Amino acid sequence: MSPATRYDLVTLLHVTADIVFVAGLLAAALLLAALSTHDAAQLGREHRLVAAMRRLHRAVTAPALVIAWACGVWLALQAGWFHSNWLHVKLALVLALSALHGVLSAALRRAGTAAPVPPARAWRAVPLLALGAIAGVAWLALLKPF
């Protein structure tokens, strides 16, 4: 396999993992935003939905995040981008999205306990903030502006 073909295949895997990760991240954020309007009694009735989202988050979103990071680091090393300022900004946004994944996992765990804790109303802003960070990452990756 030629180096160019290998690079293209890793890029394809990276973008696919990114899409899966973003879909799972936004689904969890939207669920928590919707659940933030519920009280503890209503939240208890949504137990199956929260449990399903937790399973998806663990089985699909988390592995996609790991694959995206591994492929992204490999691509940056191959292309010699670690000295580029745009990559530093992109990495900061990706770190924030990775941290959000961890915070979402914890919030889903709390919402899925026997005595569920309703998510804070601040979760309503999270999907839009995540979309902004995702758009920033895509913009930086495609344009490499600086």
pLDDT for 145 = 95
Residue 102: Cβ within 10 Å count = 11
DSSP-based three-state secondary structure for 118: coil
State residue 33's pLDDT score: 94
Check pLDDT > 90 for residue 79: yes
**CA gyration radius, the chain:** 17
User: In the chain, where are the structural domains located?
Assistant: 3-143
| pLDDT tens track for 49-66 | 999 999 999 999 999 999
Task: Give CA–CA dist 143/146, Å, rounded.
Answer: 9
DSSP string, 55-82: HHIIIIIHHHHHHHHHHHHHHHHHHT-T
End-to-end CA distance of the chain: 32
Separation CA 29–CA 126 (nearest Å): 6
- Taking the C-alpha atoms of residue 78 and residue 71, their distance in angstroms, rounded to an integer, is 10
pLDDT band of residue 43 (cuts 50, 70, 90) is confident
